[in-house]
């Protein structure tokens, strides 16, 4: 007999239907019919069904768990809105209850697992709400049954459903050997897109089938990313849901029967996009959706401790830090040895990030103006990043206008979007990396600069303090003159730059994939994934 410690949690459960149709506790199965006072034929029928279920509930412990849950589900699924949402007709629900009763004669495992699996298929939100996480994890490990999940009806155009036929009963349920990823957006050079591609390659090396689904794949990545409309609608895989902004696919993501893991990349504070109402709307939506996701997530990961703290404040548990974002070894190999620079070369101050107000490039131009006026050598400021206009209007135009006003226009370079090769060369040419960004959920360019041996000076916004963790230099004042003073101190003192680089080199190994692979694999195991292929091979050999 299975015993996962759930029965005491459900034994006292009462429902509005029970209170309306019966005047006795759920455990009293010997109640005479006269103690029920039906108001009409319909309530008399409900009372008879209730008493039959109460008698069954005196049987095996498994039915004591399942039948109260079924009673709780019945009024919810009986509503027209629920039937529309779950595509469950009244006849289907009656069949569900009959199946629950028929299962009284089956083995104990089926009495517990099959009804709960069937209820989970139709009422996933209800089961998530009433069954503790510890119990759901225990149920997920059971391998007695395999059931299909029908795609629910959704208001938006649904993804392509994958038919799995009728319920398959019997045989061992295999652990999941496919792990797919979802993110609403994607773009060439985008840090989250790069992280998805890296994770996909790593998952495939571990023996998992792995695809990436996004709202609308860019043409240049069509061979690696698939549209969300093609996502499988069954539970034969684990889905990694990456979240960084609101989107219009959340209802469909929640309805997917696949177990889900969250990887949280942080959401930029909406107030930083006050001049962009469209972006502000989706940032605000993203924060609301994060809370809605919580009941549907098996395990939560965050790419920085800063983001993990936010998830814990929202009630996610467990939460682990897992910066599975880039291959630091490949980054170091590409960077190679630091390039020696002649004094005649311009001292290069570098910042990498999208050209938007929240990244603070205009403020950096202001600080560089003071720096350039006082520094003894030639100097230049290079701003690498994509802009949304032609580079001469909008925020990019504001940056150029500010540089012209300060008389340093010829010393400020806006590159626009660049290739990986060009980005690598800009890092190799840099003498100092300076960030005045007003918010960072992680700050991948900080690590890229460290990998290239470039000392980092940064305003500690968002996750910056956690990413650097004592490496680099943090600014205590964001005023342009104060920033220029800190830049001058590092530029004039090679010994200080060398000291910063030493601390950064000590920090770099922490970003290795092997440091965090176990955390990712642990989350996958909680969701029912098989061990990596290498582990399975070792188990077979043993």
Alpha helix positions (H), 13-107: 16-21, 41-57, 61-78, 80-86, 90-102
* Tens digit of each residue's pLDDT (9 = 90 or more) over 435-452: 999 999 999 999 999 999
CA–CA distance, 331 with 336 (Å, rounded to integer): 9
Average pLDDT on 287-309 reads: 95
State the pLDDT at residue 388: 80
Percentage helix, strand, coil for the chain under 3-state DSSP, each rounded to 5: 50, 10, 35
pLDDT at 184 over 50: yes
User: CA 143 → CA 22, 85, 169, 482, distances in Å?
Assistant: 37, 28, 11, 63
Cα distance between residue 375 and residue 488, in whole Å? 7
Q: For the chain, first and last CA: distance in Å?
A: 30
DSSP string, 249-281: -HHHHHH--S-EEEEE-----GGGGTT-HHHHH
Range of weakest confidence among 158-172, 202-216, 364-378, 380-394: 158-172
CATH T-level fold of 179-327: Rossmann fold (3.40.50)
Asked if 449 contacts 458 with a C-beta cutoff of 8 angstroms, the reply is no
pLDDT beyond 80 at 255: yes
Residue 345: predicted pLDDT? 84
Report d(CA 389, CA 393) in Å as an integer. 6
Any idea which fold 338-511 has? Rossmann fold (3.40.50)
Average pLDDT over residues 339-365: 89
User: What is the predicted pLDDT for the residue at 462?
Assistant: 94
pLDDT of residue 103: 52
Judge whether 179-327 and 338-511 match in fold: yes
- Residue entry with tokens 């107000």: 357
Q: Is the pLDDT of residue 68 over 90?
A: no
438 vs 460: CA distance, rounded Å: 8
Longest CA–CA separation in the chain, Å? 102
Query: What is the DSSP annotation of 136-193?
Result: HHHHHH--SEE---PPPP-SSPPPPP----S-EESSPPPPB-BEEEEES---TT-HHH
Tell how strand 456-458 and strand 379-384 pair up.
unpaired
DSSP collapsed to 3 states, 465-500: HHHHCCCCEECCCCCHHHHHHHHHHHHHCHHHHHHH
Domain ranges of the chain: 7-150, 179-327, 338-511
Bigger pLDDT: 514 vs 1: 514
Flag whether pLDDT at 464 surpasses 60: yes
State the residue for tokens 């012209």: 404
User: Mean pLDDT throughout 140-150?
Assistant: 34
Question: What pLDDT, on the 0 to 100 scale, is given for residue 338?
Answer: 72
């Amino acid at each position: 007999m299975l015993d996962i410690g759930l029965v005491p949690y459900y034994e006292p459960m009462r429902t509005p239907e029970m209170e309306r149709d019966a005047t006795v506790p759920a455990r009293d199965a010997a109640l005479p019919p006269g103690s029920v006072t039906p108001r009409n034929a319909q309530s008399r029928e409900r009372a008879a069904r209730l008493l039959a279920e109460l008698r069954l509930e005196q049987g095996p412990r498994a039915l004591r768990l399942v039948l109260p849950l079924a009673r709780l589900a019945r009024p919810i699924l009986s509503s027209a809105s629920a039937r529309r949402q779950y595509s469950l007709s009244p006849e289907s629900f009656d069949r569900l209850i009959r199946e629950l009763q028929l299962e009284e004669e089956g083995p104990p495992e089926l009495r517990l697992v099959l009804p709960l699996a069937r209820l989970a298929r139709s009422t996933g939100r209800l089961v998530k709400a009433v069954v503790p996480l510890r119990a759901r994890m225990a149920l997920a490990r059971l391998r007695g049954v395999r059931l299909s999940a029908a795609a629910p009806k959704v208001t938006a155009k649904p993804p392509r459903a994958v038919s799995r036929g009728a319920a398959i009963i019997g045989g061992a349920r295999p652990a999941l050997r496919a792990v797919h990823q979802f993110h609403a957006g994607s773009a060439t050079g985008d840090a989250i897109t790069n992280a998805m591609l890296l994770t996909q390659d790593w998952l495939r090396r571990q023996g998992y089938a792995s695809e990436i689904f996004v709202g609308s794949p860019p043409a240049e990545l069509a061979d690696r990313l698939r549209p969300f409309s093609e996502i499988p609608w069954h539970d034969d895989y684990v889905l990694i849901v990456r979240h960084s902004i609101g989107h219009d696919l959340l209802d469909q993501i929640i309805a997917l029967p696949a177990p889900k893991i969250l990887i949280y990349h942080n959401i930029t504070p909406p107030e930083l996009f006050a001049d962009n109402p469209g972006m502000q709307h989706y940032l605000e939506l993203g924060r609301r959706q994060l809370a809605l996701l919580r009941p549907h997530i098996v395990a939560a990961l965050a790419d920085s401790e800063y983001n993990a703290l936010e998830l814990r404040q929202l009630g996610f548990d467990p939460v682990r830090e897992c910066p599975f974002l880039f291959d630091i070894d490949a980054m170091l190999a590409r960077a190679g040895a630091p390039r020696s620079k002649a004094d005649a070369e311009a001292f290069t101050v570098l910042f990498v990030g999208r050209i938007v107000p929240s990244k603070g490039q205009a403020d950096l131009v202001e600080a560089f103006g003071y720096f350039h006026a006082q520094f003894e050598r030639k100097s230049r400021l290079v701003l690498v990043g994509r802009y949304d206009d032609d580079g001469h209007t909008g925020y990019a135009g504001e940056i150029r206008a500010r540089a012209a006003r300060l008389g340093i226009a010829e010393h400020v370079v806006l590159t626009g979007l660049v290739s990986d090769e060009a980005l690598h060369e800009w890092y190799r040419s840099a003498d100092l990396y300076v960030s005045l960004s007003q918010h960072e959920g992680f700050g991948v360019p900080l690590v890229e600069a460290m990998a290239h041996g470039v000392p980092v000076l940064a305003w500690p916004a968002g996750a910056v303090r956690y990413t650097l963790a004592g490496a680099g230099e943090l600014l205590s004042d964001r005023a342009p003159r104060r920033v220029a003073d800190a830049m001058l101190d590092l530029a004039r003192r090679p010994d200080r730059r060398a000291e910063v680089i030493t601390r950064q080199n000590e920090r770099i190994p922490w970003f290795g994939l092997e440091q965090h692979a176990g955390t990712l694999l642990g989350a996958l195991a909680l969701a029912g994934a098989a061990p990596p292929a290498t582990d399975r091979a070792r188990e077979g050999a043993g």
